[in-house]
């Protein structure tokens, strides 16, 4: 959650991918989302299901780090030849 918040705040080209949240959620929206969903899921899951969800969340976090490191910030307009056009 902290990584997602940091990434969207520090790069205008990155948006939140969770359909339950807006594209650019505030810290409060992240906290409320986690406060509501995590207990609900944890109380209704078995140990094996939790292990699968933890593995999936780990993959998502690693993908988020990769996207943050490889997504350019700032100017995102490209000429047909491939070079950037910034105003």
Q: What is the DSSP string of 23-72?
A: SS--HHHHHHHHHHHHHHHHHT--HHHHHHHHHHHHHHHHHHHHHHHHSP
Q: Regarding predicted confidence, which is higher, 77 or 2?
A: 2
For residue range 28-67, list pLDDT tens digits in order.
999 999 999 999 988 999 999 999 999 999 999 999 999 9
Dist. CA 73–CA 10, nearest whole Å: 8
The pLDDT value recorded for residue 84 is 64
Write the Ramachandran bin of 82: left for phi over 0, alpha for psi from -120 to 50, otherwise beta. Answer: left
| Residue 29 region by backbone torsions, left for phi larger than 0, else alpha for psi between -120 and 50, else beta | alpha
pLDDT at 87: 54
């Amino acid at each position: 959650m902290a990584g997602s918040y940091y990434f969207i705040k520090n790069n205008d080209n990155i948006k939140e991918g969770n359909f339950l949240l807006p594209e650019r959620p505030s810290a409060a929206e992240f906290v409320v989302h986690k406060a509501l969903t995590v207990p609900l899921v944890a109380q209704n899951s078995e140990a094996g299901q939790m292990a699968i969800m933890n593995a999936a969340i780990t993959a998502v976090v690693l993908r988020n780090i990769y996207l943050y490191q490889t997504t350019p910030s700032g100017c995102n307009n490209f000429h047909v030849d491939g070079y950037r056009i910034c105003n």
